[in-house]
C-alpha cells in the first residue's frame, strides 16, 4: 500500500535489541489502531498480564496518511497496550496524540514502533533515518518533558540543514527531531502519566507514560530526511484543495457560527477560550488545515487545547473573577510533568467536595495537607501534582488514580452512587454523559475507556445546545440533521434519535455499532483527527452538509492507491472492533462487568453533580410522533434493566454471545479471524454454540 | 556554516562523455572534480545600485512569494505540497520552502518561513557553473534549475546568502532544487509558474503565503515578510498588529 514506508521498528528494551517488522505483514490492517491491535495480539502470549509487566507491549503507530497533505490526518500517533488507568481492570486500550511525531517517524522510514521488555537502567532511543541506538538517559531522568526535548535537541539537532555541508547521501532537514517523552509523573509510575510531544501534544488518558516509565524508557526521538510515496500525488493535492475550499474555514469568509468542532471551525479555536487572549498565533499538527491550537507571546500555555486548556478555569475564575494566566500555567504543569489533565479535571473537584464536607483535610478522616487557600492559583496544581509524583502524604493514594484512592478510603460505593466521584466508565473521568449522549456512554462501556470521540457529540449535543443557550436557533433543524446523519453513515444509515424510548432500541444499537466501526478504522487506524471528523454538519457549506462520507475515502485512496469505499472502512473497523473484543475477552471481560458508575442509574444530569462533568440542558434530536425536534434530555437517568436488555440487542447485532458478551466463532470467522477464535477456544473463552 | 563564495577559475562544463551525475559526485567527494563558476552566456556584469557591488543582472523574475511569519501556523502543509507537486513524494527535506519552529518559544519568535526570494541579483544563478540554474525566459524569468544540466556541485546551495539556504538538495535524485513558483510540477495537474498557481499558496490553510508580480525591496526582509492578517484574524483572538 502506498503511503507505507514498509518498516516497523521493534525495540526490545530487555536485551537492547533493535529489529524490524515488515509493514506488509500487517498491511491488511492499514495503520494505526488496526495494526497496533494485530501486533499486540501476535506478540503478547498472555494477554492477562498487568500494565506494569515486562510482557506488556506498547505500540506507537502511524498511518499511510501521516506526513502527507491529508487534512487533519497527517500526524497523529495511535498508542496501544495494557493500560494502568482503568478501574478496576487494567484493560488493553488506546490513546492518541498529534503534532509532528508520526510524520517525522515516517520521514525517518518507519510506520510505527513496537516497544517490548524493560530496560535495566533509564534509556532513550535515538533514531536518525536508519540509524537507531539506545542511549543512556540517566541525565534526562527527572527532567520535565520540555527540558528533556530541549536536551535531546541540543545533542542531535545540529546535524540539520543549517549546519551540514555534505548532505549528499542522507539529505538534510531544517526540522527539529520529533520526540515523545515522559515526565516525572511517568517515571513515578502513577496510573495517569502521559506521553508528551513538543509543547502541548499528549497521549493522556490511559496512562501509557507510566508504562514507559516502568519500562525505563524516557524518550524516543525521530529525525528523518526521507519521503513518502503516494499512489497519486496530483489527486492528493486536489483532494486536499477540494476539502479546504469547500469545507474548511476560508480566511475571506465570515467567521462561521456555532462552535469549535468539525472540519470547518476556525484556527486557534481549540483552547475553547480557556486562556486570556493576547498576542498569539494559531498552530497546528503537520498537514492540518484546521490548526486548532495557539502559541503565545510569553509561551505560557503554548499548544494547549481542549481539556488541559480548560480544566482549571472554574477555580481560576472563582479566585480571580475571570480567567487569568493561572489556567495556562496549570496547563503547562500537566504538560511538563507529563500528567493526564483529565484525571485532575474531575479529581480536583472531587477532593474539593470532600474537603468542603470536612471529610478530607488535616482534621478529617482522610488526612491531607493541601494548600486550599491557593485554590485557583497554579501553585495549588503544582503542590498537588508534586505530592502525587512523590507519593507524599495523600499523594500515595492518589498516585493510584482517584477511583482506587476512593476505594482505599472506603468511600467508593457511597461517592460513586451520588456522583460525588464523577468517574463514569471503567474509572475514567466523566466526560460526556451516558445519560444524555448515550452513544458516548455505550461505546465507552462496551470498550475500555472514555471513548473521546466527538462524532455525534458535536452536531447532536453542542450544536443545538450552544445555539439555544445563545438565544439563537440551531444551525440546522433536527429533521435536516437526522437526514444528513443518515446519509453520512452508510451502510447503517443511523437515526440519531435520543428520545427516552429510542435509547434502548435496535436503532441505537445500529448507531453504536456504526460509531465503533467508523472510529476504529477511519479515526484510529487511518487517523483522521477527532477534532475535525466526522463532518455531518458544516457551517461553511451553503446547505450545511459536511464532507463525511465522501471525504474520508477520497483522500485515503489518492494517497494509498487503494480502492476503498467508505463502507469498506466501516467493515474493516468492525473487524478491528472484534479483535479488540477478543483481547478483552482473554483479559477476563464478561457482560456483567459492563455497567456504568452507579450514579448513571440513580441521578439525572440535570441535578448538577459538581464533579460529574458538563451540567445544564442537553438539547438533542428526538423523534416524537414521527416528527424530528430538539429536546432537553438532561432530566433522565439510564434505566439499568432496559440498558441490560439493550446490551443483549447489541451483542446479537454484532453476533456476540448474549450470555457472556464474548465474540462467537462465527463473528470472528466472518472477519477472517479464525486464528483469534482458536486462541479464545484454547483459553476456554469461546462461547458454546447454542 | 561555510558560506564560502570564493570563485574558482576553472571553466565548468557538463560532462559530455556520458559521465553520470552520480560519477561526477563520486569524483567531487574525493576532491577530483574541481569546478567553479564562469560567465554564463547572455549575462552581463552590472553594478548593483543599492549596494555598489558588482553582480549579475539577470532579467527580473515575474513573480515572488511573500510570507507572514506571524500568521503561519507551522503546519508545514506548504512544504509537503511543494514536494508533492514537484517530486510526487511527501517530504520536508524535498521542499523548496522551509518552515522552522520551536514549540517552546514565545510568539512570534517561534516560527519562521524561509522562502526563496527570486533575488534580482541571484547569487545561486551566479554560482552555478553549468548554467543549470538560470532565469528561465519561458517561465517568467523565474530562477530555475534544469535538472539535466545540474552536475550536483552544490555551489548554488553554498552561494545562497540566506540561512537556511533557500535551495534544496535532492539527495534521492541528486540534484539541486529551488523554488520555481511551480512552473515545473510534473505531479500536479495545474498550470503553475508566475502566470499560474503555486501549490504552497493554494494549500496554505490560513493564507500566510501570497504571490506577487511586483519586485519586493531586496535589501532586507521587509519586502518579503508582510502582514497578511486582517481584522477577521483579530476577531479570532489572533494577533493582527505589527510585529
Ligand atoms: S484539528 Fe488540531 S489536533 Fe487535530 S490535527 Fe488539526 S491541529 Fe492537530
Ligand atoms: S536560492 Fe537563494 S540566492 Fe537563489 S534566488 Fe533563492 S534566495 Fe536568492
Ligand atoms: S511556489 Fe511552488 S516551488 Fe515555490 S515554494 Fe511554493 S510550492 Fe514550492
Ligand atoms: S501552509 Fe501556511 S500556515 Fe502552514 S506552515 Fe506553510 S505557510 Fe505556515
pLDDT tens digits, A49-104: 999 999 999 999 999 999 999 999 999 999 999 999 999 999 999 999 999 999 99
Q: For residue B211, give the nearest of B64, B69, B61, B60 by alpha carbon.
A: B64
Nearest bound ligand to CA A66?
A: 1
Task: Measure B156 CA to ligand 2 centroid, in angstroms.
Answer: 8
**Domain ranges, ordered by start, for chain B:** 18-236
Find the DSSP H helices in A391-455: 395-398, 402-408, 412-418, 438-446
Report the predicted TM-score, pTM, of the whole model to 2 decimal places: 0.94
Ordered per-residue pLDDT tens for chain B, 243 residues: 333 333 333 333 333 433 444 444 443 333 322 233 333 333 334 444 455 555 557 999 999 999 999 999 999 999 999 999 999 999 999 999 999 999 999 999 999 999 999 999 999 999 999 999 999 999 999 999 999 999 999 999 999 999 999 999 999 999 999 999 999 999 999 999 999 999 999 999 999 999 999 999 998 899 999 999 999 999 999 999 998
Q: For residue A306, give the nearest of A342, A255, A276, A336 by alpha carbon.
A: A342
CA A199 to chain centre: 17
Is the CB of residue B170 less than 8 Å from the CB of residue B156? no
Q: DSSP letters along chain B, please?
A: -----PPP-SPP----SS--HHHHHHHHHTT-------PPTT-EEEE-TTT--EEEE-PPPS-EEEE-TTT--S--HHHHHHHHHHHSEE-STT-SSEEEE-TTSPTTTTEEEE-----SS-HHHHH-SSS-EEEEGGGTTEEEE-TTT-----HHHHH--SSS-SSEEETTTTEEE---TTS--TTS-S--STTS--HHHHH-TT--EEEESSPPPSSSSTTTB-----HHHHHTT---S--
Helix H or strand E segment including A156: helix A145-156
Pocket flag, ligand 3, residue B82 (CB < 6 Å): yes
In chain B, which residue's Cα lies nearest the Cα of A70? Answer: B77
The whole-number average pLDDT for the span A201-207 is 97
Pocket flag, ligand 2, residue B96 (CB < 6 Å): no
ipTM for the complex?
A: 0.96
Is the CB of residue A186 less than 8 Å from the CB of residue A338? yes
Q: Alpha-carbon torsion A464, A465, A466, A468, what sign?
A: positive
**What residues flank ligand 4, with Cβ below 6 Å?**
B 72-78, 99, 113, 204, 206, 208-209
Q: Alpha-carbon torsion A73, A77, A81, A87, what sign?
A: negative
Pocket flag, ligand 2, residue B118 (CB < 6 Å): yes
The whole-number average pLDDT for the span A490-494 is 98
Residue A27: DSSP 8-state: G
Is the CB of residue A125 less than 8 Å from the CB of residue A156? no
Nearest bound ligand to CA A533?
A: 1
Whether B205 sits inside 8 A of A150 (CB atoms) is no
Tell me which of A166, A226, A237, A269 to substitute to probe the interface with B (most B C-beta atoms closer than 10 Å). Answer: A237
The C-alpha of A206 sits at a distance from chain B's nearest C-alpha, in angstroms, of: 25
Count the neighbouring beta carbons within 10 Å of the beta carbon of residue B47. Answer: 11
Helix H or strand E segment including A12: strand A7-12
A65 interaction partners in chain B (CB closer than 8 Å): none
Is the CB of residue B86 less than 8 Å from the CB of residue B150? no
Whether A234 sits inside 8 A of B158 (CB atoms) is no
Tell me which of B27, B70, B71, B80 to substitute to probe the interface with A (most A C-beta atoms closer than 10 Å). Answer: B80
Instruction: Write the pLDDT tens digit of every residue in A450-483.
Output: 999 999 999 999 999 999 998 999 999 999 999 9
Fold of the B18-236 domain: Alpha-Beta Plaits (3.30.70)
B76 interaction partners in chain A (CB closer than 8 Å): 100, 286-287
Pocket flag, ligand 1, residue A531 (CB < 6 Å): yes
Residue among B25, B91, B188 minimizing CB distance to A228? B91
DSSP-derived pairing of the beta strands A77-82 and A92-97: antiparallel
Amino acid at each position: 500500500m502506498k503511503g507505507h514506508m514498509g518498516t516497523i521498528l521493534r525495540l526490545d528494551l530487555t536485551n537492547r535489541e533493535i529489529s524490524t517488522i515488515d509493514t506488509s505483514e500487517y498491511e491488511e490492517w492499514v495503520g494505526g489502531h488496526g495494526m497496533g491491535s494485530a501486533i499486540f495480539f501476535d506478540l503478547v502470549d498472555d494477554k492477562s498480564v498487568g500494565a506494569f509487566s515486562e510482557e506488556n507491549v506498547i505500540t506507537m503507530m502511524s498511518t499511510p496518511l501521516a506526513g502527507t497533505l491529508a487534512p487533519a490526518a497527517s500526524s497523529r500517533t495511535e498508542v496501544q497496550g495494557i493500560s494502568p488507568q482503568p478501574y478496576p481492570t487494567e484493560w488493553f486500550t488506546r490513546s492518541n496524540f498529534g503534532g509532528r511525531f508520526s510524520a517525522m517517524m515516517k520521514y525517518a522510514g518507519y510506520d510505527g514502533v513496537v516497544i517490548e521488555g524493560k530496560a535495566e537502567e533509564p534509556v532513550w532511543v535515538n533514531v536518525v533515518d536508519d540509524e537507531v541506538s539506545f542511549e543512556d538517559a540517566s541525565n534526562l531522568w527527572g527532567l520535565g518533558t520540555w527540558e528533556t526535548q530541549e536536551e535531546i535537541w541540543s545533542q542531535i539537532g545540529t546535524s540539520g540543514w543549517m549546519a551540514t555541508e555534505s548532505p549528499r547521501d542522507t539529505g538534510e532537514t531544517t526540522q527539529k527531531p520529533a520526540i515523545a517523552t515522559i515526565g516525572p509523573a511517568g517515571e513515578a509510575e502513577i496510573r495517569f502519566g502521559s506521553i508528551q510531544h513538543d509543547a502541548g501534544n499528549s497521549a493522556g488518558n490511559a496512562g501509557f507514560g507510566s508504562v514507559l516509565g516502568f519500562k525505563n524508557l524516557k524518550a524516543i526521538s525521530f529525525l528523518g530526511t526521507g519521503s513518502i510515496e503516494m499512489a497519486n500525488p496530483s489527486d492528493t493535492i486536489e483532494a486536499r484543495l477540494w476539502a479546504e475550499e469547500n469545507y474548511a474555514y476560508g480566511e475571506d469568509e465570515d467567521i462561521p457560527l456555532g462552535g469549535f468542532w468539525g472540519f470547518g471551525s476556525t484556527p486557534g479555536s481549540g483552547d475553547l477560550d480557556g486562556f486570556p487572549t493576547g498576542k498569539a498565533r494559531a498552530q497546528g499538527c503537520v498537514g492540518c488545515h484546521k490548526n486548532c491550537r495557539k502559541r503565545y507571546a510569553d509561551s505560557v500555555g503554548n499548544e494547549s487545547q481542549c481539556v488541559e486548556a480548560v480544566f482549571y478555569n472554574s477555580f481560576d475564575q472563582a479566585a480571580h473573577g475571570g480567567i487569568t494566566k493561572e489556567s495556562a500555567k496549570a496547563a503547562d504543569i500537566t504538560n511538563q510533568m507529563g500528567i493526564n489533565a483529565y484525571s485532575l479535571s474531575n479529581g480536583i473537584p472531587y477532593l474539593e467536595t470532600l474537603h468542603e464536607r470536612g471529610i478530607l483535610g488535616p482534621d478529617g478522616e482522610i488526612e491531607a495537607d493541601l494548600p486550599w487557600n491557593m485554590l485557583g492559583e497554579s501553585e495549588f496544581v503544582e503542590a498537588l501534582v508534586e505530592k502525587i509524583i512523590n507519593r507524599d502524604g495523600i499523594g500515595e493514594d492518589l498516585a493510584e488514580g482517584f477511583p482506587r484512592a476512593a476505594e482505599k478510603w472506603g468511600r467508593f460505593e457511597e461517592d460513586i452512587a451520588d456522583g460525588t466521584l464523577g468517574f463514569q466508565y471503567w474509572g475514567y473521568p466523566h466526560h460526556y454523559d451516558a445519560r444524555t449522549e448515550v452513544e458516548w456512554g455505550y461505546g465507552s462501556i462496551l470498550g475500555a475507556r472514555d471513548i473521546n470521540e466527538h462524532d455525534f457529540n458535536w452536531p447532536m449535543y453542542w450544536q443545538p445546545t450552544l445555539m439555544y443557550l445563545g438565544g439563537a436557533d440551531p444551525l440546522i433543524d433536527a429533521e435536516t440533521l437526522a437526514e444528513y446523519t443518515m446519509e453520512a453513515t452508510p451502510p447503517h444509515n443511523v437515526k440519531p434519535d435520543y428520545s427516552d424510548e429510542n435509547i434502548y432500541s435496535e436503532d441505537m444499537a445500529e448507531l453504536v455499532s456504526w460509531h465503533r466501526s467508523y472510529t476504529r478504522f477511519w479515526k484510529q487506524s487511518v487517523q483522521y483527527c477527532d477534532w475535525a471528523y466526522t463532518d455531518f454538519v458544516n457551517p461553511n457549506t451553503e446547505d450545511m452538509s459536511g464532507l463525511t462520507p465522501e471525504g474520508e475515502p477520497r483522500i485515503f485512496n489518492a494517497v494509498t492507491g487503494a480502492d476503498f469505499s467508505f463502507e469498506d472502512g466501516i467493515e474493516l473497523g468492525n473487524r478491528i472492533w472484534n479483535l479488540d473484543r477478543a483481547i478483552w475477552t482473554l483479559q477476563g471481560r464478561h457482560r456483567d462487568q459492563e455497567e456504568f458508575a452507579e450514579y448513571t442509574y440513580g441521578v439525572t444530569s440535570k441535578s448538577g453533580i459538581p464533579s460529574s462533568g458538563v451540567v445544564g440542558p442537553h438539547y438533542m434530536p428526538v423523534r416524537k410522533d414521527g416528527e424530528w425536534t430538539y429536546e432537553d434530555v438532561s432530566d433522565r437517568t439510564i434505566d439499568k434493566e432496559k440498558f441490560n436488555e439493550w446490551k443483549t440487542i447489541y451483542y446479537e447485532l454484532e453476533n456476540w454471545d448474549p450470555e457472556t458478551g464474548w465474540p462467537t466463532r462465527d463473528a470472528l470467522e466472518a472477519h477472517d479471524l479464525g486464528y483469534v477464535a482458536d486462541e479464545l477456544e484454547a483459553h476456554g473463552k469461546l462461547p458454546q454454540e447454542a | 556554516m561555510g558560506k564560502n563564495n570564493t570563485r574558482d577559475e576553472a571553466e565548468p562544463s557538463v560532462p559530455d562523455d556520458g559521465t553520470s551525475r552520480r560519477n561526477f559526485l563520486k569524483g567531487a567527494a574525493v576532491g577530483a572534480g574541481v569546478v567553479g563558476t564562469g560567465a554564463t552566456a547572455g549575462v552581463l556584469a552590472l553594478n548593483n545600485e543599492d549596494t555598489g557591488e558588482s553582480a549579475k543582472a539577470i532579467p527580473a523574475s515575474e513573480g515572488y512569494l511573500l510570507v507572514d511569519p506571524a500568521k503561519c501556523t507551522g503546519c508545514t502543509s506548504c512544504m509537503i505540497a511543494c514536494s508533492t507537486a514537484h517530486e510526487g513524494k511527501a517530504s520536508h527535506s524535498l521542499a523548496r520552502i522551509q518552515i522552522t519552529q520551536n514549540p517552546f518559544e514565545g510568539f512570534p519568535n517561534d516560527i519562521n518561513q524561509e522562502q526563496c526570494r527570486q533575488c534580482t541579483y541571484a547569487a545561486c544563478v551566479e554560482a552555478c557553473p553549468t548554467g543549470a540554474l538560470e532565469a528561465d525566459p519561458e517561465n517568467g524569468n523565474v530562477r530555475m534549475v534544469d535538472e539535466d544540466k545540474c552536475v550536483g556541485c552544490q555551489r548554488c546551495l553554498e552561494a545562497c546568502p540566506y540561512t537556511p539556504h533557500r535551495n534544496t538538495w535532492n539527495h534521492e535524485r541528486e540534484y539541486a532544487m529551488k523554488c520555481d513558483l511551480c512552473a515545473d510540477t510534473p505531479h500536479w495537474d495545474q498550470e503553475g509558474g508566475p502566470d499560474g498557481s503555486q501549490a504552497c499558496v493554494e494549500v496554505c490553510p490560513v493564507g500566510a503565503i501570497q504571490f506577487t508580480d511586483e519586485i519586493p525591496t531586496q535589501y532586507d526582509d521587509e519586502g518579503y515578510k508582510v502582514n497578511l492578517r486582517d481584522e477577521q484574524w483579530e476577531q479570532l483572538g489572533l494577533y493582527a498588529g505589527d510585529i
